[in-house]
Structures are given as C-alpha cells and as structure tokens.
C-alpha cells in the first residue's frame, strides 16, 4: 500500500505540522513505479502534450509521469530560478504572497497540459499554476497528486475551478 511508504514527520517545519515525506516512497522502487502508474492511468487516452510540475518534489514525480505518457515536461518554479524569459503569477499564502514562474515559450496555445505535484493541501499553489498555464493559452486537462490533505480543501478548490484532481493517498486531519 502506497500510504505505508510515506513517512510522517511530526512538528516539521513547525510545531503542529505533520509533514508527509515522499522520499521514502521514492526510495522504494516498487512503490515509485506503482505511484507513477497510478498517476498516469487516468490520462493515458487524454492526449496530454505536456506535463507541468511544481517544484521541487513535483519535478521528480512529474518528469516520471511525462516520460510514461510520452509527453513533454515543463517546470514551474519560484521566482528568479529560470534563466529565460518568464511569465509569472503571484498568489496569497497564509501570511503574505509568493510568485511562481515558467518560461514564456514552454507551453503553446491549445496544448493539453496535466499538472503534477507531490501534495495538495489548500490548493493555492496548484490554482496559481493553473492560472499561469491558462494565461499562455494552455488547456489544463487535470491535476495529479501523490498525497491529498482533503480537510484543507485544495482538491475541492481545483474541482470548483473546473479541474479534475486525482490523488493516490489521503491523509484526513492532515
């Protein structure tokens, strides 16, 4: 069971947080293979041209999903990390704002894009990534996550934005 391969680290990065660590899943070849297969399966007939993934753990899983789908891969990064001309979107955090970027020429108008990340919590970063992708004309077909923290509402927020969200493991109560 995939859930059993995910380590929980209490009080990280601050007291009261239960950090869900996928590095233990990634280190288990069978679990990693299973996770990629399960993240890929809903989209095998969806004609996905590009997988976009959010840094940093999302890159690991997203690149594997892109490979399995025979699709291109686009990294979505925090501001200032990409070397070429970028497009960006800022979004609200619990305290303050953050900005994510991608290369302006990474996705063309009309491309069918799947968004991947390791975890969905409140959905703020995922919704910002959807906004970023749509701003360059991408058709965001769906989003996939290894972990969902359903009590924080991120998957519901994506569904409300018209995005099908697929997760492999849930941790209620986060």
State the catalytic residues. Answer: 57, 94
The answer to whether the beta carbons of residues 131 and 101 sit under 8 Å apart is no
Residue 11 to residue 14: CA distance in whole angstroms: 5
Question: What is the C-alpha to C-alpha distance for residues 38 and 168, in angstroms, rounded to an integer?
Answer: 7
Residue-wise over 45-58: b if at least 16 C-beta within 10 A, else e?
A: eeebbbbbbbeebb
């Amino acid at each position: 069971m995939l859930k059993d391969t995910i380590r929980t680290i209490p009080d990280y990065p601050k007291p009261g947080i239960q950090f869900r660590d996928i590095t233990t899943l990634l280190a288990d070849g069978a679990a990693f293979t299973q996770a990629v297969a399960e993240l890929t399966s809903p989209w095998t007939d969806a004609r996905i041209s590009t997988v976009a993934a959010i840094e940093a753990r999302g890159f690991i899983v997203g690149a594997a999903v892109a490979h399995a789908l025979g699709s291109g891969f686009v990294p979505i990064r925090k501001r200032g990390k990409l070397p070429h001309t970028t497009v960006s979107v800022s979004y609200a955090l619990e305290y303050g704002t953050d900005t994510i970027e991608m290369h302006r020429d990474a996705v063309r108008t009309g491309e069918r894009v799947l968004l991947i990340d390791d975890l969905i919590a409140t959905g703020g970063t995922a919704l910002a990534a959807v906004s970023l992708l749509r701003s360059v004309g991408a058709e965001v077909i769906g989003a996939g996550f290894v972990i969902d923290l359903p009590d924080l509402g991120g998957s519901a927020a994506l569904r409300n934005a018209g995005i099908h969200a697929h997760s492999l493991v849930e941790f209620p109560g986060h």
